[in-house]
Each structure stands twice: as structure tokens, then as C-alpha cells.
């Protein structure tokens, strides 16, 4: 049967809305509400239904569900303005969370084992390069007896790393987290498998030969690469690969520091760019699993033990806030210095593979003068927090560690940022705290807490990861009395950093320079809180299937009210929805003169329920490539009660903008006096005092 009058036959919808079927003998397409529509519905010549298990079923075995719908002219889509994905059913979503959680645990175990292997490899290279012994024990190179020959060791390591980057993969350059962010934002979380091997090996060589880096950055990058590779081996979406990448990265951090909660927060604040159950649960499982593996190898002791501290007083707490602000300025200065060094290397007339070797000369010279600057330096952080490293020795360490690290990292070699930042920040905090203890004893500042605040605040200011910084410092020291100073100091550092560098951080500046906008603030989706019925037009202009196209054209030309719309729902003789036609369809000059509106309907009507959210409406329009959809109720899916368009959806943002832009006063001082006065009188009455002030 040709699609003509038969197209308008009634459509039966079962009470539970799981069966959609045309009347016998018709070729009517099924109505397409948000939770039922599929592209193949437009070619249904027989009954279609959804069985009790949520599967698609066809009674006509000759029609394939994969048969594509014919391409027809539709209104301009919302694709340029909105983006979204088809909302899965709850059972499917829960099933995917379970699957992703299981995969994340597997990734975490591999990442934790990789962390142990990398740590052992760093120890092996350190012992060979500085002590000439064959041992995988994690050792500081500061106690070497090479003398001036120590300058050569970092240069050799840097040459090897440069060759690996040139002929292996340039992705091993950098400190790990920014590179992982780049893959999430620009490459759908796809990391080349060879990076999984080259990144830890190059980092082990760079750090083991004296590079002033932390091992955590490469471990985080390696865990992220493992998650990405596993996601690429399986059939996953870009969002699911991102979750696995973040799970691997969080596992790497948890395995290094024994800090599962802060590892999850780092993943949320720097990698996931969202806070939803579908990503939070797998990443949390991954961090927990990696911590269990770490416990099996190194036990449960904190990585940075320090003496117990007492709760701070008010004056001391205010001082820690000021200290955090000072450290925030230092964090911004370090970030700017790092990228200034990078710019300097970019201007050199030699290939970038030689840059790490040039920087390694500085690393070697500084390491000869101040041996404590060589290597990871976790012991330096521990001694700073404990108070055993102080005074001139600490000042020399902070100054020379900064020089060595910022030049080496600016050259593009492989290494992490967290341990050097903790060393510099903790040292600055300890030095300032010692001065305050000596010169202003009435403030009751504790030098140990000052060092702890400095260590966390510099991370908060440099990375803009406030919560992760606070919780990290607590998890790595297990000092609950330090939480309040940490929160105050890190908040101050974050505030100062936002004022001085509002659009980027040490993690995102490189991406920002390439034109990638990094969103670091998350808020609830306003469209998800607004119902379609609140934004849709309640009196839609409709056409009827029997209307002549020529008459409709005359009506459009007359510019009568409602004739300027871009789309019109079409009703049949029973006032039931038959389809939607667009202005473009109606003005098509190739249509026969005798055409009626029913002849223009070439696809199933796409509808939205009035109790769906504006976000669901936007996503639905994007998926179906339409610019407007009729609004129906669940009880009457063929009765049009409104029309919602892309303009209506965009207009729904007005409430958010008003809440952000419009400042209003809702209470005046006079109104407050009127509120307080009755309370005073009622209080006096309760006390037995009359209006004349006498006791009653």
C-alpha cells in the first residue's frame, strides 16, 4: 500500500506502553516517545513490540530491524548547539556500572603491580648508577661518593630518555597528568599501547639517574594508559574508556601514596570532568583495590609519618590561612616559571630530543652542590614534616630543588610534579613556621602543621585540586588535628591562585596554550531540573492530514498568527498525532499541486512526554536530528498538548543566568527591625515584664 490515506490509521498503544502496533491492514509507523523510539521504526510494515525483557521484536520476519529509514528533509537539528547521548534503561545502566567496576578493579591490580615494578626499577637504576651495586631497594642518591662525576649521570639518563621519546613515542614526555587529560579531552581517552611500556621505563631511567622528579606522575600515567588500552580492547564508549583511564590513574596514585580517597578526588577534579555514580563507583573500587595491593607489599604505615599535633587555636588558625595565601603566590610563581622555561627551550635551534640532556647538566651541577636534590626525595618530605630537616639545610634544599626541577621538567623529559611540589611547599611552610615560632610565640604556630599546610597548599594552588590536596595531606600523615588548618590554608592558596591564574593551572596551562578550554568547575545541569511542560508552548499550531498543501502555503504567505513556525504537528481525523511536517516540506516547489499534508509525512512522529526533563528533550532532538517535537502525556501518547523547540530548550537557561547575574535585596534593615521588635516584646512577656517595663 502506498503511504497515503492508510498512513492515517489509528495506532494502538498498550496500557503499560510496551506494545506499539498499527491497526490491521495499515502501514502506519509507530509513535516514538523518548523511551521507545528507534530509527528503524519509520519502516515498520507490521507489528513492533518490546517484550518483557526489554528486547525489540517484530512479528514480520521479512523485515530486519537494521533496515535503515529513508533520508527525508527535516528541520535543522540541534547538533550545533547541544550534545547528548541516548539515555539507557536503568537495567542497562546498572549492568554497565557493574561491568565497569569489575574492569576497573582488574585495571587497578595491574596498575598497583606496575607501580611496584616501577619503584623497584627506579631503585635498581639508582643503585647501579650511583653506587655500582645490583639491588632493587629504593635508595636515595644523595649519599653517593662520585664527586664531580655525578654531573655525568643525569646527562646519560636524559640522553636515553630523549632517544626513547624520539624513536619510541613522544607521548612519554612530560609529567603524566596533563598528558592523560589531553587524551581524555582530545582523543576520546585512547592512549597508544606502547606508552604503557615506554612511560614507566623512561621515567625509571630519568629518576634513577638523578632526575629531581616524583615517581607518582609516571605511575599515574601508566595506570591511565593501562585502563585506556583495556578499554580499547573491549567494545566500550569514549565515556567508558575515560572511566577506565581515570580508574587506572587513581589506582596508580593510591598504590604510590596509600591515599585512596584523595586519588579518587584527583580523578574527579582532573580527569573525569564529572561527578556521577557511573564514573565515581568504578574509580572508587579501583583506588580501594590498588590500596589493598599496596598494603600487601609495604604495610599500612603512612608514607610521611610525623609527630602528633595538637588542635590549633584561633590565632594559629588565622596564621595558617595567611600562610596558605603566601604559598598560593608561590604556586603561581612556580607554574609561570615552569612554562617560561618551556618557552625558552622551544626557541632553541636544536631538536627537542636534546633538550633533556642540556637540562640534565644543570641537574648534575645542582646535585653535586646539593645532593639532596637528586632523585625522588620522599625522605626529604618526611624529614621536613618531622622537623629533623630545618634551618639552612632546608633553605638550600628548597632553593636548589626548585632550580633543578623546573629546568629539568621544562625541557620535556619524563617525570612527576607532586613530590617536588611537596618538597618545595613543605620546606617553605616549615621555614615560615619556624620563623613564626621564634619571633611571634604568642600566635602558638606549630612548625609541623606549618610544614603540612605548606605541602598541601602548594598542590592546591598549583593544580586547583582543593579537596584532593586536603585529603591527600591527611591520608599520607594520618594527623586528624591537621585537617582544619589544611582546609583553611589550602582554601586560601586556591583562592589566591584563582585570582592570579583564573583559567589554567600547572596541569592545564599546556592544554590552554593549544586552545583547549578546560572546565574545572562542575554544577548541576539546570536543564535536568526543568520539565518539558514548563517550557513548551501549550497552544501549538497544528495542521490536519486532509489540508491541501496549497491552502497551507497561502496561509503561510498571509503571515497570519502562527504561520511563522518552522514545524507543525499533523493531526488525523480523530485529532490524533499522525506526524510532523516542516516549513521546508510545505514550501517544496517540486510537490504536486494536488498534494495534501498527509503526503508529506515520511517518518514516524518523534514525541516527548510532558514530564520528561528539558535535558532529555534536548538529547532526544539531537539523536533524532529534529529541531522541535510534539509534547504528549503518558496517558495519551497521540494527543498533542504542546510543542517544544530548540529555542525553548535554550531559553530554559534563563533561570540559571538570572540566578548568576541578578543581585537583589529581599530584606531591608527596617524589615529586620520589625522582625526583632516583636521577638523582644514576646521575650519580655515570657519574663513577666509588661509593656510599661514593670513586672507583671
Domain coordinates of the chain in residue numbers?
1-71+569-664, 90-298, 320-513, 669-696
- Residue 68's pLDDT is what? 40
Please report the pLDDT score of residue 685 as a whole number: 53
The neighbouring-strand residues paired with 508 are none
Q: Evaluate whether 294 touches 257 at the Cβ level (below 8 Å).
A: no
Does 101 or 688 have the greater pLDDT score?
101
> Which of residues 399 and 637 earns the better pLDDT score?
399
Lowest mean pLDDT among 102-116, 241-255, 460-474, 572-586: 572-586
Which CATH number is 90-298's, of 3.30.470.20, 3.30.70.360, 1.10.3080.10, 3.30.1540.10?
A: 1.10.3080.10
Length of the chain: 696
**How far is the C-alpha of 174 from the C-alpha of 190, rounded, in Å?**
17
pLDDT averaged over every residue in the chain: 81
Does the pLDDT of residue 29 top 50, yes or no? Answer: no
pLDDT at residue 69, rounded to an integer: 38
Q: What is the pLDDT of residue 561?
A: 86
pLDDT band at 661 (very low <50, low <70, confident <90, very high): confident
Q: pTM for the complete prediction?
A: 0.76
Nearest to 283 by CA among 261, 259, 258: 261
Helix axes 216-233, 193-208, angle to 10 degrees: 170
Query: Does 328 or 236 have the greater pLDDT score?
Result: 328
Contact 246, 266 (CB under 8 A): no
**DSSP characters over 338-390:** HHHHHHHHHTSSS-GGGHHHHHHHHHHHHHHH-GGGSS--HHHHHHHHHTSS-
In this prediction, residue 681 carries a pLDDT of 57
pLDDT at 688: 54
Q: Of residues 452 and 660, which shows the higher confidence score?
A: 452
Task: Please list the helix, strand and coil fractions of the chain in percent, rounded to the nearest 5, in that order.
Answer: 60, 5, 35
Which phi and psi angles does 694 have, rounded to 5°? -90, 155
Query: Among 484, 425, 374, 308, which residue's Cα sits nearest to residue 153?
Result: 374
Domain 1-71+569-664: homologous superfamily in CATH: CBS-domain (3.10.580.10)
Burial degree of 60 (CB within 10 A; 0-12, 13-18, 19+): exposed
Q: What is the pLDDT of residue 76?
A: 37
- pLDDT at res. 16: 38
**b/e 245-278 (16+ beta carbons within 10 angstroms → b):** bbbbbbbbbbbbbbbbbbbbbbbbbbbbbeeeeb
Instruction: Confirm if 238 and 485 have CB atoms less than 8 A apart.
Output: no
Q: What is the sign of the dihedral through the CA atoms of 330, 334, 336 and 340? A: positive
Report residue 262 as a C-alpha cell.
584523595
Q: What is the percent of the chain with per-residue pLDDT over 70, rounded to a whole number? A: 81
Cβ atoms of residues 245 and 189 within 8 Å: yes
User: Is the model more confident about 342 or about 12?
Assistant: 342
Express each pLDDT in 56-78 by its tens digit: 333 333 333 343 433 333 333 32
CATH number 3.10.580.10 is the correct assignment for the domain at 320-513? no
What was the pLDDT predicted at 19?
Answer: 36
Distance of alpha carbon 416 from alpha carbon 214, whole angstroms: 4
Q: How confident is the model at residue 694 (pLDDT cuts 50, 70, 90)?
A: low
Q: What percent of the chain has pLDDT over 90?
A: 42
- 206, 213, 226: which is closest to 163 by C-alpha? 206
* pLDDT beyond 80 at 298: yes
Is 90-298 the same fold as 1-71+569-664? no
Amino acid at each position: 500500500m502506498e503511504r497515503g490515506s492508510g498512513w492515517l490509521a489509528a495506532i494502538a498503544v498498550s496500557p503499560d506502553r510496551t506494545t506499539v502496533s498499527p491497526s490491521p491492514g495499515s502501514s502506519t509507523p509507530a509513535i516514538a516517545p523518548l523511551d521507545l523510539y528507534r530509527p528503524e521504526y519509520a519502516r515498520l510494515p507490521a507489528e513492533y513490540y518490546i517484550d518483557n525483557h526489554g528486547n525489540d521484536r517484530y512479528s514480520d520476519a521479512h523485515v530486519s530491524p537494521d533496515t535503515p529509514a529513508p533520508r527525508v528533509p527535516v528541520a535543522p537539528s540541534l547538533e550545533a548547539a547541544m550534545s547528548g547521548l541516548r539515555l539507557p534503561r536503568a537495567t542497562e545502566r546498572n549492568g554497565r556500572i557493574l561491568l565497569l567496576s569489575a574492569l576497573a578493579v582488574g585495571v587497578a591490580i595491574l596498575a598497583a603491580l606496575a607501580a611496584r615494578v616501577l619503584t623497584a626499577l627506579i631503585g635498581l637504576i639508582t643503585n647501579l648508577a650511583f653506587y655500582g651495586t645490583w639491588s632493587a631497594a629504593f635508595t636515595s642518591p644523595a649519599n653517593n661518593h662520585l664527586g664531580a662525576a655525578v654531573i655525568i649521570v643525569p646527562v646519560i639518563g636524559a640522553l636515553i630518555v630523549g632517544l626513547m621519546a624520539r624513536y619510541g613515542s613522544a607521548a612519554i614526555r612530560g609529567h603524566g597528568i596533563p598528558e592523560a587529560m589531553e587524551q581524555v579531552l582530545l582523543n576520546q581517552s585512547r592512549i597508544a599501547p606502547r606508552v604503557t611500556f615506554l612511560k614507566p621505563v623512561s621515567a625509571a631511567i630519568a629518576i634513577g639517574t638523578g632526575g629531581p622528579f616524583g615517581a607518582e606522575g609516571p605511575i599515574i600515567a601508566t595506570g591511565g594508559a593501562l585502563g585506556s588500552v583495556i578499554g580499547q580492547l573491549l567494545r566500550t564508549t569514549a565515556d567508558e574508556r575515560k572511566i577506565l583511564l581515570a580508574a587506572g590513574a587513581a589506582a596508580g596514585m593510591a598504590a604510590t601514596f596509600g591515599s585512596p580517597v584523595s586519588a579518587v578526588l584527583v580523578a574527579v577534579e582532573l580527569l573525569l570532568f564529572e561527578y556521577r555514580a557511573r564514573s565515581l563507583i568504578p574509580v572508587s573500587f579501583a583506588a580501594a583495590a590498588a590500596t589493598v595491593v599496596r598494603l600487601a607489599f609495604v604495610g599500612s604505615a603512612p608514607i610521611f609519618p610525623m609527630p602528633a599535633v595538637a588542635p590549633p587555636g584561633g590565632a594559629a588558625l588565622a596564621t595558617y590561612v595567611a600562610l596558605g595565601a603566601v604559598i598560593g603566590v608561590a604556586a603561581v610563581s612556580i607554574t609561570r616559571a615552569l612554562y617560561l622555561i618551556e618557552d625558552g627551550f622551544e626557541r632553541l635551534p636544536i631538536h627537542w630530543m636534546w633538550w633533556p640532556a642540556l637540562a640534565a647538566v644543570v641537574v648534575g651541577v645542582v646535585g653535586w652542590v646539593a645532593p639532596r636534590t637528586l632523585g625522588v626525595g620522599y625522605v626529604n618530605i618526611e624529614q621536613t614534616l618531622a622537623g629533623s630537616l630545618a634551618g639552612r639545610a632546608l633553605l638550600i634544599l628548597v632553593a636548589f630543588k626548585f632550580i633543578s626541577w623546573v629546568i629539568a621538567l621544562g625541557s620535556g623529559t619524563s617525570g612527576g610534579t607532586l613530590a617536588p611540589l611537596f618538597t618545595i611547599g613543605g620546606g617553605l611552610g616549615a621555614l615560615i613556621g619556624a620563623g613564626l615560632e621564634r619571633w611571634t610565640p604568642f600566635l602558638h604556630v606549630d612548625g609541623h602543621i606549618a610544614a603540612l599546610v605548606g605541602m598541601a597548599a602548594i598542590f592546591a594552588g598549583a593544580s586547583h585540586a582543593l579537596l584532593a590536596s586536603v585529603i591527600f595531606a591527611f591520608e599520607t600523615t594520618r594527623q586528624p588535628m591537621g585537617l582544619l588548618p589544611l582546609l583553611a590554608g589550602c582554601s586560601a592558596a586556591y583562592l589566591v591562585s584563582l585570582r592570579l591564574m583564573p583559567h589554567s593551572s600547572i596541569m592545564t596551562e599546556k592544554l590552554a596554550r593549544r586552545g583547549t578550554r578546560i572546565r574545572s568547575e562542575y554544577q548541576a545541569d539546570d536543564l535536568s531540573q526543568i520539565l518539558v511542560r514548563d517550557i513548551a508552548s501549550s497552544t501549538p499550531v497544528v495542521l490536519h492530514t486532509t489540508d491541501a498543501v496549497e491552502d497551507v502555503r497561502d496561509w503561510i504567505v498571509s503571515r497570519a498568527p502562527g504561520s511563522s513556525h518552522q514545524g507543525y504537528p499533523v493531526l488525523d481525523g480523530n485529532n490524533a498525532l499522525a506526524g510532523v511536517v516542516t516549513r521546508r516540506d510545505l514550501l517544496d516547489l517540486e510537490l504536486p499541486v494536488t498534494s495534501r499534508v498527509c503526503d508529506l509525512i515520511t517518518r514516524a512522529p518523534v514525541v516527548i512526554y510532558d514530564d520528561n526533563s528539558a535535558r532529555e528533550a534536548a538529547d532526544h532532538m539531537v539523536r533524532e536530528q529534529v529541531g522541535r517535537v510534539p509534547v504528549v502525556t503518558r496517558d495519551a501518547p497521540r494527543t498533542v498538548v504542546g510543542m517544544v523547540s530548540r529555542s525553548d530548550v535554550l531559553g530554559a537557561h534563563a533561570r540559571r543566568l538570572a540566578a548568576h547575574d541578578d543581585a537583589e535585596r529581599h530584606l531591608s534593615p527596617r524589615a529586620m527591625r520589625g522582625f526583632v521588635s516583636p521577638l523582644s516584646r514576646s521575650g519580655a512577656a515570657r519574663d513577666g515584664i509588661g509593656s510599661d517595663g514593670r513586672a507583671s
